Amino acid sequence: MRADSRTELSRYFDHTLLKPEARASQYETLCREALQLRTRTVCVPPDRVALAVDLLQDSTVEVCTVIGFPLGYSSTSAKVAEVDLTRTLGASEFDVVIPVGRLRDGDLPAVYDDIRAVVAAAEGSVVKVILETALLTDAEKIAGSVAAIHGGAAFLKTSTGFSTGGATVEDIRLLRMVAGESRGVKASGGVRELAFVKACIAAGADRIGASATAAILANAAGGPEGNDGY
């Protein structure tokens, strides 16, 4: 892949750091890398949004944060409060974990209501719904995706990276089939290699969540490929 293609590829990435033990210096490195690589966003926890916004001011890199993360069973009011706070601090994209247990119960109205409330709180900002696909059957993935779409989500997202599995090409294809062209699809969880990123994009992903962004893009330009991930 040529260097100009690498620049185009970098805009697929939400450059991510969500490790609970991460220090401020690691978020500073994340933001510095995002600026150098020109990624779409950095994805950070709610308590690091203010730092990221400050470090990325006057740049094209947006700040994404996570809501109800990583388990998804926070109350809807708690999720809305997280959106309200982090939007005030400057976050412009919100990755919210679906109430997985409610979905597996078949309680789709509860799932819809949860997502709809978060979307309303985001006031037009991008909301990506994390399905945690490793925990779901294909039928549940489809049902959750439909609820997310009807709830107003802009993206369907595979995984938190904290569960039993991450993104798969098969799941990307399935989510793209449900989303059609009306919604985005984000591959996340265990994204470490350039070949896998290419396969996900070919399958229909238009956003990639990874902490290994720098290593992946270095490989795209002909450098060594790392194996760090989240």
**pLDDT, tens digit, 9 for 90 and up, residues 79-105:** 999 999 999 999 999 999 999 999 999
pLDDT, average across residues 41-55: 99
Digit-coded pLDDT (tens) for 201-227: 999 999 999 999 999 999 988 754 443
In this prediction the pTM is 0.94
CA dist 198 to 21, 30, 202, Å? 30, 22, 6
**Residue appearing with tokens 């107003």:** 152
CA dist 76 and 118 (Å) reads 8
Q: Which residues are catalytic?
A: 95, 157, 186
CATH code assigned to 3-220: 3.20.20.70
